[in-house]
Amino acid sequence: MATILIVEDEKPINELIRRSLQTVGHRCVSVYDGQAAVDELAQNKYDLLLLDIMLPKMGGYEVFERIRGIPTIILTARDGLSDRVKGLTMGADDYITKPFEMLELLARVDAVLRRTRRERTGESFELDGMRIDFGSRQIYCDQQPIEYTPREFELLETLVRNRNIALSREKLLELAWGYDYEGDTRTVDVHIQRLRKKFGLEDRIKTVYKLGYRLEV
Amino acid sequence: MRARTFLVTLTLFLLFFNLSIFLFSAITLKTNLDGSRERSLGEHYFIASTYGKDLYALESRGTIADAALGSLFQSYSAYYGKQGVALELSEEGRILYTSLPKGDRRSGHSQAAIPGERTVTTTKLDGRTYVSVIGNLPAPYETYTLTYLYDVSGYLSAWSRMTGMLFLLGIVLCTLLAVCLHFVLGRVFKPLRQISEASKCIAQGEYGNRIGATRHDELSEMADSFNHMAEEIQKQIGQLKLAAEQKQRFIDNFAHELRTPLTSIYGYAEYIQKVELTDEDKLAATDYIMSESRRLQNLAYQLLELATLGRSDIRREPVEIKELFRKTEETLKLKLEDCKVRLTWKCRLDAVDGDRDLLESLVVNLADNAVKACPPGGLVLLEAYMESERPVILVTDDGKGMTDEQLGRVTEAFYRVDQARSRAGGGAGLGLALCEQIAASHGAKLSFSSQIGRGTISKITFTTS
């Protein structure tokens, strides 16, 4: 989906971010210090930069000053107000503090990508003859457009954007229905059944024991 | 305080001033009156005797006694009248002649004199005061009594005018005194007021406040000691602030140190839970969870050590330096081979007093840092010798060195000169903080000097052998 450069000196965290982003289909490159990040950005084109602030050789803010123009999410363990304000006033697109949850990271990455790529032609997702056009909100099965309710589209989009990751029923309610929806988690089960039937995703949308559902690609 | 001093001083002054005026006028009055009495007495004697002689002379010349008495009295009274003196002549209580002014004249009787004696009294006659001397004429005219009346009312009224003037002057002077006293007291109490204002300021947190003292007296001494106190307070507050800042930084850093491994642990656990993984991926993820947990454990252990070191007393026994250096080399053997760094030692000292394990940990830590700073082929030198009667242990490397700013913060907990490398090695950034604690618990001083590109020298100076 997107090419992302991860700049983080802690190897475990760097790898964790890389693995998480790769799971939902992004292409990732990891570097471990500020100088390497600047060098890498000079050679290749990236859609998004995940940038730690405390870096050896060259600090995160300095890297950011040099590479202006690439959408950036700042990662840091410091969540003091002044740090956050500094990052955002410098022009960073978002700010994530450690420790973070995988879904939060993915959601923010998605949000920044959607915002910064708006003018481009709508992205799409294809799976087993089903094609989703996110730009025009159309779903085709074997080239035939299919009727669906807005809720079904939201749910399918949530599953696609967090594919290969198990989502609890509560999380699905929160992401597809919104925070203020006060419904039964069984509503999710009903809608999942409908999605499976309508789009032929019986083998793709797996029920994860005691956890929820996962779209496996 | 000021008002009280003012009132007390003023009251005391008024009291003594008025008392002295009063005493002064009373004494003057008495002395003057006594003088007049003496004089009157003398005059009376003189008049009485000449009067007697003249009477005798006139009588012997044949003048009738009564006529002579009258004409003599006339001439005497005319003469003395000019001096403010009135005369009175009586016979057995009956006034024969008098030169008193008409308003003052007494009725026909006068006091009879005691034979052979003269009495002095002060009499008041119709608003006028006289000193009167009563006595008989000398023989053979002892039946006649001559009364000498000296008018002192003029003097008395002058006296009372003067006293009045004095009291008036007193009031004017008192007013002047009150004004002067007000200003003088204001000046005297100025340092006190300054002190009280300055203490108020200090109480409100402006610790830089001082009192300017220009004079040299008790009050300026007091101001001096006040300034001294303020300085001490400022110093102590500064130290407290510094300590609080250090503590705050420690907590900030500590939170950061906790968050980093926690992010990994939580993240990989979530990753295992939510993503379908191959066995290989699972192993990698659990590996990370375990190593990051170990890191937390390390951190907890070192923090605990740091905390207990500050509190407990240490054992003291002679520790052989050669043995200490040998063990250090042994501990670092693997690392030395990995980094291709050589370690040598020069020992010109037998032993120092201290805890064997702690000293070993101290030297190993310093040597370990030295090795980390060295490029491949570098050299780390351990030395021990006496420097002005004090044992010194020196760890020298020819590595990359540090800037002054880094040097200043190097013993701060969680501070890392080279972040990436130290963390990769599992360090928590507490090594030198621990070293400093160990040195302090031995009564030793840990100091560093460094030059960029030339290397770093760590020096432990013991205070006692």
CA angle B326, B330, B334 (to 5 degrees): 150
Strand partners, A51: A7, A74
Given B131, B161, B191, the domain boundary residue is B161
Q: How far is B332 from chain A (nearest CA, A)?
A: 25
CB < 8 Å to B284, chain A:
15
In 3D, which of A203, A206, A204, A168 has the Cα closest to residue A188? A168
| Locus of tokens 């300034």 | B227
Best of A98, A211, A213, A214 to disrupt the B interface by mutation (most B CBs within 10 Å)? A98
CB < 8 Å to A78, chain B:
252, 256
In this structure, the answer to whether residues B291 and B326 fall within a common structural domain is no
Q: Which A positions 91-120 lie with beta carbon below 8 A of chain B?
A: 98-102
In 3D, which of B219, B172, B185, B171 has the Cα closest to residue B6? B185
Residue A134: per-residue pLDDT: 82
In this structure, the answer to whether residues B147 and B292 fall within a common structural domain is no
Strand partners, B145: B90, B136
The tally of domains found in chain B comes to 3
Residue B175 lies in a domain: no
Distance between CA atoms of residues B369 and B360, nearest Å = 14
Counting every residue written for chain A, the total comes to 217
| Locus of tokens 């031995």 | B442
**B407 vs B284, which has greater pLDDT?**
B284
Structural domain boundaries, residue B273: 206-310
Mean pLDDT of chain B: 83
Stretch among B199-208, B292-301, B411-420 having the lowest mean pLDDT = B411-420
Q: How far is B249 from chain A (nearest CA, A)?
A: 12
Task: Compute how many other C-beta atoms are within 10 angstroms of the C-beta atom of residue B458.
Answer: 24
Q: Which residue of B has its CA nearest to A168?
A: B274
Residue B391 lies in a domain: yes
Of A19, A32, A98, the CB nearest to B271: A19
In this structure, the answer to whether residues B273 and B336 fall within a common structural domain is no
Residue B105: per-residue pLDDT: 64
**CATH number for position B25:** 3.30.450.20
Q: Which residue of A has its CA nearest to B426?
A: A10
Q: Give pLDDT < 70 ranges for chain A.
A: 79, 118-122
Q: How far is A56 from chain B (nearest CA, A)?
A: 6
Of A10, A19, A211, the CB nearest to B423: A10
Q: Do A56 and B418 touch (CB under 8 A)?
A: yes
Residue B81 lies in a domain: yes
In this structure, the answer to whether residues B156 and B218 fall within a common structural domain is no
**B112 vs B353, which has greater pLDDT?**
B353
Best of B257, B262, B270, B274 to disrupt the A interface by mutation (most A CBs within 10 Å)? B274
Residue B173 lies in a domain: no
In this structure, the answer to whether residues B144 and B259 fall within a common structural domain is no
Best of A13, A168, A171 to disrupt the B interface by mutation (most B CBs within 10 Å)? A13
Residue A27: per-residue pLDDT: 92
CA angle B253, B314, B345 (to 5 degrees): 80
Q: Do B264 and A216 touch (CB under 8 A)?
A: no
Are A216 and A172 in contact by the 8 Å Cβ rule? The answer is no
**CATH number for position B343:** 3.30.565.10
Task: Compute how many other C-beta atoms are within 10 angstroms of the C-beta atom of residue A175.
Answer: 19
Q: Do A165 and B275 touch (CB under 8 A)?
A: yes
Stretch among A147-151, B191-195, B298-302 having the lowest mean pLDDT = B191-195
Report whether the peptide linkage leading into residue A150 is cis, meaning its omega lies within 30 degrees of zero: no
Please report the domains of chain A, with CATH numbers, ordered by start residue: 3-116 (3.40.50.2300), 124-215 (1.10.10.10)
Residue B134 lies in a domain: yes
pLDDT at B464 over 70: no
CB < 8 Å to B283, chain A:
none
Q: Average of pLDDT values for B313-335? A: 86
DSSP string, B234-293: HHHHHHHHHHHHHHHHHHHHHHHHHHHHHHHHHHHHHHHHHB---HHHHHHHHHHHHHHH
In this structure, the answer to whether residues B289 and B390 fall within a common structural domain is no
Q: Do B263 and A166 touch (CB under 8 A)?
A: no
Given B257, B280, B310, the domain boundary residue is B310
- The string of pLDDT tens digits covering residues A111-130 is 898 888 765 556 778 888 88
Q: Do B420 and A9 touch (CB under 8 A)?
A: yes
In this structure, the answer to whether residues B38 and B78 fall within a common structural domain is yes
Strand partners, A29: A5
**Residue B380 backbone phi and psi in degrees, to 5:** -115, 130
Residue A6: per-residue pLDDT: 95
Q: Which residue of B has its CA nearest to A206?
A: B276
Q: Which residue of A has its CA nearest to B289?
A: A12
Are A47 and A113 in contact by the 8 Å Cβ rule? The answer is yes
pTM reported for the whole predicted model: 0.61
Q: Do A78 and B270 touch (CB under 8 A)?
A: no
Amino acid in position B223: A
Q: What is the DSSP letter of B339?
A: H
| Locus of tokens 């608003």 | B127
- The string of pLDDT tens digits covering residues B414-447 is 777 765 555 555 566 778 888 888 888 888 888 8
CB < 8 Å to A165, chain B:
274-275
Which residues lie closer than 8 Å to A8 by C-beta, 6 or more apart? A14, A17, A30, A32, A50, A52, A55, A75
In this structure, the answer to whether residues B336 and B280 fall within a common structural domain is no
Strand partners, A206: A214
**Contact status of A69 with chain B (Cβ, < 8 Å):** no
Q: Which residue of A has its CA nearest to B285?
A: A16
Task: Compute how many other C-beta atoms are within 10 angstroms of the C-beta atom of residue B278.
Answer: 8
Distance between CA atoms of residues B185 and B219, nearest Å = 13
- Ramachandran quadrant class, A78 (left: phi over 0; alpha: psi -120 to 50; beta: rest): beta
Q: What is the DSSP letter of A176?
A: I
CB < 8 Å to A100, chain B:
263, 267
The radius of gyration of chain B's CA atoms, rounded to the nearest angstrom, is 57
| Locus of tokens 């009372």 | B160
Q: Which two tokens stand for residue B195?
A: 């002190």
Are B177 and B10 in contact by the 8 Å Cβ rule? The answer is yes
Q: From the centroid of its chain, how far is CA B21?
A: 41
pLDDT at B310 over 80: no
In this structure, the answer to whether residues B428 and B371 fall within a common structural domain is yes
**Contact status of A153 with chain B (Cβ, < 8 Å):** no
Order the strands of the B119-125 sheet from edge to edge.
B94-98, B85-91, B144-151, B128-136, B119-125
**Contact status of B274 with chain A (Cβ, < 8 Å):** yes
Distance between CA atoms of residues B235 and A36, nearest Å = 47
- The string of pLDDT tens digits covering residues B136-184 is 888 778 788 888 888 888 888 888 898 889 889 888 988 898 899 888 8
**Contact status of A41 with chain B (Cβ, < 8 Å):** no
Are B84 and B154 in contact by the 8 Å Cβ rule? The answer is yes
In this structure, the answer to whether residues B18 and B155 fall within a common structural domain is yes
- Give SS3 for B182: helix
In this structure, the answer to whether residues B323 and B448 fall within a common structural domain is yes
Q: Do B267 and A20 touch (CB under 8 A)?
A: yes
B396-to-A31, B158, B371 alpha-carbon distances in Å: 34, 107, 10
In this structure, the answer to whether residues B354 and B441 fall within a common structural domain is yes
Distance between CA atoms of residues B352 and B465, nearest Å = 6
Amino acid in position A52: D
Residue A202: per-residue pLDDT: 83
Half-sphere exposure of B164 toward its Cβ, with a 13 Å CA cutoff?
6
- The string of pLDDT tens digits covering residues B251-271 is 887 887 888 889 899 999 999
Residue B61 lies in a domain: yes
Distance between CA atoms of residues B29 and B166, nearest Å = 14
Q: Which residue of A has its CA nearest to B275?
A: A165
Residue B271: per-residue pLDDT: 92
CB < 8 Å to A211, chain B:
273-274
Q: Which B positions 422-441 lie with beta carbon below 8 A of chain A?
A: 423-424
Strand partners, B317: B354
Given B97, B132, B161, the domain boundary residue is B161
CA angle B94, B97, B98 (to 5 degrees): 105
Residue A121: per-residue pLDDT: 55
